[in-house]
Amino acid sequence: MPQENHHKQEVEIRSDEVQEIMSHVPNWMIRWGISLILGVIVLFLFLAWLIKYPDVITGTATLTTSTPPVKLVVKSSGELEKIFITDNQVIDREQTIASIQSTLSDKAHLFLSERITEIKEAYELNKLEELDLTEQEYVFGELQANYSALRTALQQYYSLLKENNVLFTIENTKKQIENQSALLDLVTKQAVRQKRLLANAQEKFTSDKTLYEKGVISQIDFFDREKSYESTINAVQELEKSKIQIAITLTELEKQLNELTFNFGKEKRNLLFEIKSQISILESLLATWQRNYQITSPVKGRLTYLESLSENQFVEQGKEIFAVIPDNQNYIACLKIPKAGFGKVKSGQKVILKLDNFPHHEYGQLEGEVQTVSLIANEDNYLVKVVLKGGLQTSYHKTISYTPEMSGTAEIITEDLRITDRIFNQLRDLFQ
């Protein structure tokens, strides 16, 4: 029993000693532990300051060019009569791409366009009478009536100038007026001379009358001299009468000439007005026909087929079958962003663009810069225009091929914040 108590006492003593050893912490461990914890905190703060976590606004994006691709729409239903341009071919402005079948064939349209240009130039140069009016074998369909009206007006104008007797009558009347004027001048001169003779005859008759009264000359001689005097008077009167008759004839001829000239000028003006009107109508109809039945490019660029096409294929009105991509354009992205955070968006901010066609983890991202921001929302979205200064070269130094209206997502970096800034912002919100 005493032995057991002794053993128990030893165990208790040893247990206290062990307890003391275990409860004692060495000084070096305390120092290094605190240093380690402090280092971790400092490292965390340094990384929080070093690592940036930018504030971004995300939206949908559509990649396009400064001059967007132009989609060409079919204006009239019909069969494709001719396709002039192949897919992916460069075309000029106003170049014809395809034509749709109509009552006016392409050859007839070409002839009519050239013919109208020729007639218009002749009209402006006042040389319509020199045009060749030989009938052509073309059929102009819905424009036939207007072209026939133009040809009729041209033929009437040609007939008025070349075959009508009016011009001959006008020239003849002018010559008659010239002759009558010359005759009037001649008769006037004769009348002047005859009046001088009459004055002399009057003096002689007065002298003869005095001699007769004095009985120097016989009555028979006096009567003969009186008769000669009266003949001179009659001659002067006849000349004055001739002058009046010639003046009346001149007046009638001038009236006739005026009426002929007026009627001729009026008919000529009416025909010229009709010709000009028909030219304008045909130009308008040709332009309308071209818009409806010919598909032309409004800009210079590269043509793209929007679907498989072939000649004699029927196309419906309003369908988009071609697109023209302008060359040498700057690439831009049109972004639609929500209202939330829109006030942070400003010109010059950096934009990261990720395209659906080219996965960003394989091809990289495109970088741009905000150019303009819309002032009014459209369907709860604001429009932001972004310029891609680096073109289509991605962050992986790959140049992607452009396809019109490629879609994707965009991130506008409104503020390049650090993690510490975000922590302090959160703490500021809590204290406020």
pTM above 0.85, yes or no: no
Q: Check residue 31 and give its pLDDT.
A: 62
Q: Check residue 206 and give its pLDDT.
A: 79
Return the percent helix, strand and coil in the chain, to nearest 5.
Answer: 55, 20, 25
Task: Determine contact, residues 237/185, Cβ cutoff 8 Å.
Answer: no
Domain extent listing, the chain: 2-50, 55-67+327-431, 101-296
Q: 55-67+327-431 is classed in which CATH architecture?
A: Beta Barrel (2.40)
- C-alpha 174/C-alpha 208 separation (Å) is 50
CATH of the domain spanning 101-296: 1.10.287
Task: Determine contact, residues 106/82, Cβ cutoff 8 Å.
Answer: yes
User: Tell me, what amino acid is at 114?
Assistant: E
Computed on alpha carbons and rounded to an integer, the radius of gyration of the chain in Å comes to 55
Token reading at 275:
């010709």
Q: Check residue 8 and give its pLDDT.
A: 47
Q: Write the DSSP string, 361-397.
A: HHH--EEEEEEEE-SS-BTTEEEEEEE-TTTTB-TTS
Q: What are the residues whose beta carbons fall under 8 Å from the beta carbon of 332, sequence distance 6 or more? A: 63, 64, 65, 66, 368, 371, 385, 386, 387, 388
- C-alpha 71/C-alpha 330 separation (Å) is 19
* Ordered mean pLDDT values, 10 residues apiece, the chain (432 residues): 49 53 57 70 60 72 82 89 88 89 83 90 88 79 88 88 82 90 87 80 76 74 77 83 89 90 90 92 90 88 87 90 80 85 81 88 88 80 86 86 83 68 56 56
Q: What are the residues whose beta carbons fall under 8 Å from the beta carbon of 230, sequence distance 6 or more? A: none
At 2, give phi and psi (nearest 5°). Answer: -60, -35
Q: What are the residues whose beta carbons fall under 8 Å from the beta carbon of 150, sequence distance 6 or more? A: 119, 275, 278, 279, 282
- C-alpha 96/C-alpha 141 separation (Å) is 21
